[in-house]
């Protein structure tokens, strides 16, 4: 146990050294989460988001929910709230969500390592729109299709990290379409992400597998799909072409459905963030 902990610490340190800007962003996001849970308002410095190499970077924003009755102005979001925004917010052309990290167990007979020992993996639950916003191009296979994230527990598909693919599957391209056992359930491998992929929202996190958001309740064991109180997701959105930062900030269609939405802008001319209160 101690040896495993030390290995994880060494991996974390190596990741932090390789990606200092990303690691700083992780610290800030964690601090925001702590501040929200204690009722202390924290604001993400939008300049830090400039380090993330996603396409249309100047149009990407983080959207936070709020609960003014509890004096909490910055919170993660629930899926029902995101659906409200997707249905009514004409300032954004795409909103993706992610929840990580989760833990899944790769059965000993699923990989090619031959040691027969189960392996604990770090998993992220993401929507297809989130992967599209990152602009990632798999080295093998594909990312999730919209229909694979439409029914709760309906599609057990998985995307592998490049490191896991090399280590446990010997870089075999025939892994696409293969079924592997994760936490006692069969998942079909549909893609492998490149080695330099920057994960969201924790860029320094060494994610092993990605699964659709609609699998979250099955993996976690509680309802985090339909409950509006399940504010466990981070939302990344992209402004529509031609929509200014100010128009996105004053998005009335969102304000009608949320007491407050905090939008953290990726902008180079200031380190402050904008917020809309109602």
Within 8 A by CB and 6+ apart from 251, the residues are 89, 90, 91, 92, 261, 276
Q: How far is CA 250 from CA 86, 202, 243, 262, in A?
A: 16, 28, 11, 11
Rounded distance between C-alpha atoms, residue 9 and residue 144, angstroms: 31
Torsion angles phi and psi, residue 258, rounded to 5: -140, 135
Q: What is the model's pTM?
A: 0.73
CB 247 within 8 A of CB 91: yes
Question: Domain-by-domain residue ranges, the chain?
Answer: 2-277
Q: Which of 68-77, 194-203, 245-254 has the lowest mean pLDDT?
A: 245-254
Query: Which pLDDT tens digit goes with each residue over 36-59?
Result: 332 222 223 343 445 567 888 878
Residue 189: CB atoms within 10 A of its CB come to 22
Rounded distance between C-alpha atoms, residue 39 and residue 22, angstroms: 26
CB 171 within 8 A of CB 165: yes
Q: What is the mean pLDDT of the chain?
A: 74
| pLDDT-derived band at 249, boundaries 50, 70, 90 | low
Q: Determine the pLDDT at residue 246.
A: 59
Within 8 A by CB and 6+ apart from 106, the residues are 118, 119, 120, 121, 168, 180, 181, 182
């Amino acid at each position: 146990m101690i040896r495993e902990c030390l290995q994880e610490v060494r991996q974390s340190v190596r990741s932090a050294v390789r990606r200092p800007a990303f690691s700083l962003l992780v610290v800030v996001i964690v601090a925001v989460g702590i501040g929200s849970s204690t009722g202390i308002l924290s604001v993400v410095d939008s300049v830090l988001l400039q380090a993330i190499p996603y396409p249309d970077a100047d149009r990407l924003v983080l959207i936070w929910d709020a609960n003014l009755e509890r004096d909490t102005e910055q919170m993660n979001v629930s899926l029902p709230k995101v659906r409200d925004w997707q249905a009514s917010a004409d300032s954004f052309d795409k909103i993706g969500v992610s929840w990580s990290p989760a833990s899944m167990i790769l059965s000993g007979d699923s990989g090619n390592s031959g040691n027969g020992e189960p392996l604990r993996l770090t998993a992220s639950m993401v929507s297809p729109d989130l992967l599209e916003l990152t602009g990632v191009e798999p080295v093998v296979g594909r990312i999730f299709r919209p229909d694979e994230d439409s029914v709760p527990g309906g599609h057990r598909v998985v995307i592998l990290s490049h490191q896991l693919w090399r280590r446990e599957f010997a870089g075999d391209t025939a892994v696409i379409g293969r079924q592997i056992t994760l936490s006692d359930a069969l998942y079909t491998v549909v893609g492998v992400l490149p080695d330099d992929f920057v994960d969201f929202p924790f860029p320094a996190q060494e994610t092993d597998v990605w699964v659709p958001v609609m699998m979250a309740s099955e993996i976690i064991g509680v309802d985090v799909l339909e409950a509006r109180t399940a504010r466990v997701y981070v939302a990344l959105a992209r402004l529509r072409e031609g929509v200014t930062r100010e128009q996105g900030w004053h998005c009335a269609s969102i304000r009608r459905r949320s007491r407050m939405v905090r939008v953290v802008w990726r902008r180079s001319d200031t380190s402050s963030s904008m917020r809309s209160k109602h």
